[in-house]
Structure 1
């Protein structure tokens, strides 16, 4: 397990969050096997894995969580065979059900505008929160990419951010308009007030009230609070990313351009927004056509 996790970190370039999740999943799997008296990789058969899958269901895990854990296990057993730690892969014939296609949640452009208009205040935390919301929606960043921004990543005079995405992959994200204005104002007047002289020096763009890097959990809370201002409960940062992509597509942006900005390695991931856009087109048709 340690070698596999090291492989994920070093060779695959998986993020610390991914490695942490895999560690939790594999430790739980190992504990289950230990309880069945299975201590060697070659003693694991298909029945063991199926029994573990059933155990997860009995413990109340959602179908998506069970599928994710089984997917982790399949990758682990492939690694064991490839590296010579096992002679066979007990998960070879184990099929994961195809998850039902689920369209992403998005806000309308008017909802986003109302939310941002409701986020007022000139204090440093308020300026920071406004900049976070503008950047999440204006640049389509993931929450981890937003909290991971450093001062050197903000090349505002040229209108772009250097973003480190999944697997440590870097990309350039354009920033302009309201997002550029809000981020510039925060860096000029808000961040200096949040940077405490007694705090450990950090290059992080977004700081907490103690002068340290803002956490993902804090950004989740900031976004959820902003959503409640316009009657949207449990608003998630990723919804702003989905909204960015959908509104870009509806505005005529090329799908490949959206893929590049979002940092998707596969165009099929980006294509989900074409389905959202079709829904928008149908709604527009039904509301506008006199005989629809």
Structure 2
């Protein structure tokens, strides 16, 4: 790892005894643990590649690094967005006179959302063929409540409340936003059979100390194994969230209600699901 040396306009300098951690901790302060982990990994990959102090990095270095990124266009876009954010933050602090990330352009990738939406039959088969009771409830909660995997992992019983018909979870999600998600009565009746003390996890890990949260890798494994049983390769827990959104719209859910339930920043984000599986198209009007 190359040492970071920042010669700032405010005469701030990180010397040889300081590391990239100093800047990253400031940049990522207040973000979720999941975001901190993924963003810092990308930042370190970039610094390892360029082997230069931040003040010596230019647009050409950013472009050269992006050319080495393997994977989909969406992956490249994510990596570019992360590094652009880092440079914007550093520039705003006054630690760089020029922000090279501002000029970095990445083409808009193909929207492949439709490829990550399961059919209702596929979701039901995944759930039905899961023999482990806890894992079955994890699949059901991801799908019926439309939760992100990070949200599911940190659920505690104090976040759950009974209602006249079913129950609800108070979810603290992406962007430090809190929302309320209703739990269908049938699922609620199954979940409360697991109920424990308020500070205990709704879904606990069996491999760690008592009351330890599940981690993301465990949930990914549960979903992957469930999908593999029905012939679907390499899904993620987010596919169940995508499926929740698409199926809800198919069944007549108002888009603003779905947007609130999913915790989207705006309805425009939710509208992607309408575009991925439209009910109408001009092509249908040309058939005799």
1:224 deviation in Å?
A: 2.3
Deviation track 1:176-202 (CA, whole Å, cap 9, x = no partner) reads 133212212333xxx79xxxxxxxx96
Is 2:149–2:219's contact at 8 Å kept on the other side of the alignment? yes
Which of the numbers 60, 63, 80 marks the counterpart of 1:47? 60
The 3 A distance-change label for structure 1 pair 27 and 274 is same
Question: Are 1:110 and 2:121 counterparts?
Answer: yes
The aligned runs of 1:5-44 (5 Å cut-off) are: 5-10=24-29, 13-34=30-51, 38-39=52-53, 41=55, 43-44=56-57
Aligned to 1:185: 193
Aligned to 1:98: 108
Is 1:127–1:186's contact at 8 Å kept on the other side of the alignment? no
Is 1:156–1:184's contact at 8 Å kept on the other side of the alignment? no
The aligned runs of 1:1-292 (5 Å cut-off) are: 1-2=20-21, 4-10=23-29, 13-34=30-51, 38-39=52-53, 41=55, 43-54=56-67, 56-57=68-69, 60=70, 62-104=72-114, 105-120=116-131, 126-157=132-163, 159-187=167-195, 203-210=200-207, 211=210, 212-278=212-278
Aligned to 2:4: none
1:253 deviation in Å?
A: 0.8
Deviation track 1:1-56 (CA, whole Å, cap 9, x = no partner) reads 5454334443xx3111211222222222223332xxx4351x322222223333x2
Measure, in 2, the Cα distance between the counterparts of 1:235 and 1:91.
32
Measure, in 1, the Cα distance between the counterparts of 2:110 and 2:59.
25
TM-score where L is the length of structure 2: 0.79
TM-score where L is the length of structure 1: 0.78
The 3 A distance-change label for structure 1 pair 224 and 32 is closer
1:92 deviation in Å?
A: 2.6
Is 1:127–1:182's contact at 8 Å kept on the other side of the alignment? no
Q: Secondary structure at the residue paired with 1:164? A: strand
* Structure 1 alignment gaps of length 5 or more: 121-125, 193-200
Measure, in 1, the Cα distance between the counterparts of 2:244 and 2:180.
16
Q: Pick which of 107-116 and 85-94 moved more.
A: 107-116
Aligned to 1:196: none
Measure, in 2, the Cα distance between the counterparts of 1:48 and 1:228.
41
Measure, in 1, the Cα distance between the counterparts of 2:90 and 2:128.
54
Measure, in 2, the Cα distance between the counterparts of 1:239 and 1:154.
24
1:61 deviation in Å?
A: 5.1
User: Cα RMSD over matched residues?
Assistant: 2.7
1:242 deviation in Å?
A: 1.1
1:95 deviation in Å?
A: 1.1
Aligned residues: 260
1:273 deviation in Å?
A: 1.0
The structure with the largest helix share of the pair is 1
Measure, in 1, the Cα distance between the counterparts of 2:261 and 2:72.
32
